[in-house]
């Protein structure tokens, strides 16, 4: 018997066997069961996702001897003839080779005749967008008012090329790419039925190579079987798919994240000597860093067509790197893509890109940066500078009139001991919050504290304060009330208020009509600031000050 390729052998024959197009299947099945069958359908989407297969299933559902039914029997003569492509009442026409007006005129003549043995006469036109403008015009009238026994099913990969006059006369269904996970599951079922031993990792590689097309993935699987037989190793799949360069990706990204330029250049040289095309490798590297970023951001990487096995390998790499750093790496690769394609020597260009990436300073989120700066400030305050008296006495001897203080007070009562004198001062409360929770304390800088009065402490913020939404969250409010309870030794309720006046600093705004916090927000996001930080190794953002008088600039 002649060999039947996997894409044909395992072609779905019923709606419930279709993978990845549940929205289309459900709509068609409901239309059949409710008797709401249209006279023209347009299936559009990428290649190999099931458009023609569903068209055939729909034809069988309508012409099955037990139908119309959403579950064709596949055993009656009508079903078998449609499956084999020999039905006289279901014609499949290739739009690419029958695209002229003469062919459409012939089709219009055939439409007039009743079905030979079936319920409906069905015309399936594949790649319908290939028809000429004249052919489409000749089809319009027939498509709008066909005989009751005629149904048209069009399939296309480019519905943007189908005239609007045709689209308006059809029920249009958009087919989606099939996910890597769904394709891999289908291939695993095929392997089980065919008695093929293959790892889940290898199936994931084949599914990725299919690029959302079930037919392409099954064809690649056929090719791998021809190469490796029924017992295939991961190395066999790598050899057929040309995935030898994959082993360099993880090592290369590891070197970039470790800021090891020498290792990057060594790995790239090994890839070059192995015969890997540098422009193709750049595309894989771009996708690899995209996957790193998605694994960092999204807990469920499989939703982005990243195989589970691959996500498990990428996870350890992104644990110690920030999202902002990965975003910058990806931005560099994207911005250099066109330049590399035009470069006469892709290898040298790729070397310069990798060196640039490795020498970038890691980017910290603003919250972490503020916390780090606050911690640094606390350490500086705790260390007296030479020749300067400490700002706050640390022992009883430094202040003769002070009462004895325990050298090592218990942790649980440290707050009460620290504020045994001066507690209740609103300004001291801001300092107290800074010491106990630096990140939260930094957000209180712009606040004016009043109270507590009748057990209520009010924090006044200027209108439009950048951190107001964050600090008024339930968790932040609860933390402030906890710290207030420690500070005053009683139950304190925290309330928030805003003033209509914009925040002032040094008695003036820096720009007419622009609040200080808005200017600070713009300064933090400034590309120029980031370039300065990149240019000077070890540079840190210490403070943002508004310039109220240009003459004050040194």
User: What's residue 353's pLDDT?
Assistant: 92
Helices (H), 116-213: 133-144, 164-167, 180-194, 200-209
CATH number of the domain to which 438 belongs:
3.30.300
User: What's residue 414's pLDDT?
Assistant: 33
145 shares a domain with 55: yes
Say whether pLDDT at 521 is over 90: no
| 532 belongs to a structural domain | no
CATH number of the domain to which 116 belongs:
3.40.50.300
Query: Is there a contact between 339 and 349 (Cβ–Cβ < 8 Å)?
Result: yes
Structure confidence by residue, pLDDT tens digits, 369-419: 666 666 666 666 665 544 444 444 443 343 334 333 333 333 333 333 333
The whole domain housing 306 covers 246-358
User: What's residue 364's pLDDT?
Assistant: 60
Two tokens at 33? 């069961």
User: What's residue 124's pLDDT?
Assistant: 93
Confidence of residue 142 (pLDDT cuts 50, 70, 90): confident
Apex CA 411: angle with CA 409 and CA 413, to 5°? Answer: 70
C-alpha gyration radius of the chain? 35
DSSP per-residue codes, 16-63: GG--S-HHHHHHHHHHHHHT---SEEEEE-STTSSHHHHHHHHHHHHH
373 shares a domain with 461: yes
Backbone angles phi, psi at 104, to 5 degrees: -70, -35
Structure confidence by residue, pLDDT tens digits, 249-285: 888 999 998 889 999 999 999 888 888 888 888 988 9
Structure confidence by residue, pLDDT tens digits, 169-204: 999 999 999 988 899 999 999 999 999 999 988 898
pTM: 0.58
Structural element, H or E, at residue 461:
strand 456-462
201 shares a domain with 137: no
152 shares a domain with 185: no
| Sequence-distant (≥ 6) Cβ neighbours of residue 9 within 8 angstroms | none
| 133 belongs to a structural domain | yes
Structural element, H or E, at residue 524:
helix 516-524
18 shares a domain with 100: yes
DSSP per-residue codes, 465-482: -TTHHHHTSHHHHHHHHH
Number of domains in the chain: 4
């Amino acid at each position: 018997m002649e060999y039947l390729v996997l894409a044909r052998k395992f072609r779905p024959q019923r709606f419930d066997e279709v993978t990845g197009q549940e929205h289309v299947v459900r709509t068609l099945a409901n239309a059949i069961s409710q008797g709401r069958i249209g006279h023209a359908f347009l299936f559009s989407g990428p290649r190999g996702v099931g458009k023609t297969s569903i068209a055939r299933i729909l034809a069988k559902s309508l012409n099955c001897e037990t139908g119309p039914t959403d579950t064709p029997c596949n055993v009656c003569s009508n079903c078998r003839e449609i499956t084999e492509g020999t039905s006289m009442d279901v014609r499949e026409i290739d739009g690419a080779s029958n695209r002229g007006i003469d062919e459409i005129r012939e089709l219009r003549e055939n439409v007039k005749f009743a079905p030979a043995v079936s319920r409906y006469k069905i015309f399936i036109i594949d790649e319908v967008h290939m028809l000429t403008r004249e052919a489409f015009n000749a089809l319009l009238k027939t498509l709008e008012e066909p005989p009751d026994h005629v149904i048209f099913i069009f399939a296309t990969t480019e519905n943007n090329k189908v005239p609007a006059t045709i689209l308006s006369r059809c029920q249009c269904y958009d087919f989606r790419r099939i996910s890597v996970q769904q394709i891999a599951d289908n291939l695993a079922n095929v392997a089980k039925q065919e008695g093929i031993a293959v790892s889940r990792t290898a199936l994931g590689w084949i599914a990725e190579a299919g690029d959302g097309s079930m037919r392409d993935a099954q064809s690649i699987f056929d090719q791998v079987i021809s190469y490796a037989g029924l017992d295939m190793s991961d190395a066999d799949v790598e050899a057929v798919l040309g995935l030898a360069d994959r082993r360099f990706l993880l090592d290369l990204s590891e070197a970039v994240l470790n800021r090891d330029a020498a290792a990057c250049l060594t790995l790239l040289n090994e890839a070059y000597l192995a015969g890997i095309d540098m422009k193709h490798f750049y595309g894989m590297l771009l996708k690899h860093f995209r996957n790193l970023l998605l694994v960092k951001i999204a807990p469920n990487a499989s939703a982005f067509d990243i195989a589970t096995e691959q996500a498990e390998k990428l996870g350890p790499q992104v644990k110690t790197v920030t999202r902002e750093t990965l975003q910058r790496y990806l931005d560099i690769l994207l911005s250099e893509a066109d330049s590399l394609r035009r470069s006469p020597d892709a290898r040298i260009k790729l070397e310069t890109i990798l060196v640039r990436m490795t020498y970038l300073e890691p980017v910290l989120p603003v919250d972490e940066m503020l916390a780090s700066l606050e911690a640094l400030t606390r350490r500086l305050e705790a260390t007296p500078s030479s020749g300067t008296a400490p700002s706050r006495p640390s022992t009883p001897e430094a202040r003769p009139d002070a009462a004895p203080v325990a050298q090592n007070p218990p942790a649980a009562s440290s707050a009460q001991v620290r504020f045994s004198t001066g507690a209740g001062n609103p300004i001291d409360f801001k300092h107290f919050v800074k010491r106990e929770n630096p990140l939260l304390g930094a957000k209180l800088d712009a606040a004016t504290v009043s109270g507590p009065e009748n057990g209520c402490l009010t924090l006044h913020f200027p209108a439009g304060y950048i951190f107001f939404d964050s600090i008024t969250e339930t968790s932040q409010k609860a933390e402030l009330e906890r710290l207030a309870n420690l500070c005053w030794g009683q139950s304190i309720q925290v309330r928030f208020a805003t003033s209509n006046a914009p925040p002032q600093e040094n008695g003036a705004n820096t720009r007419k009509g622009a609040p200080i916090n808005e200017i600070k927000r713009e300064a933090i996001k400034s590309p120029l600031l980031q370039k300065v930080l990149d240019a000077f190794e070890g540079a840190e953002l210490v403070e943002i000050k508004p310039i109220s008088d240009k003459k004050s600039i040194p």
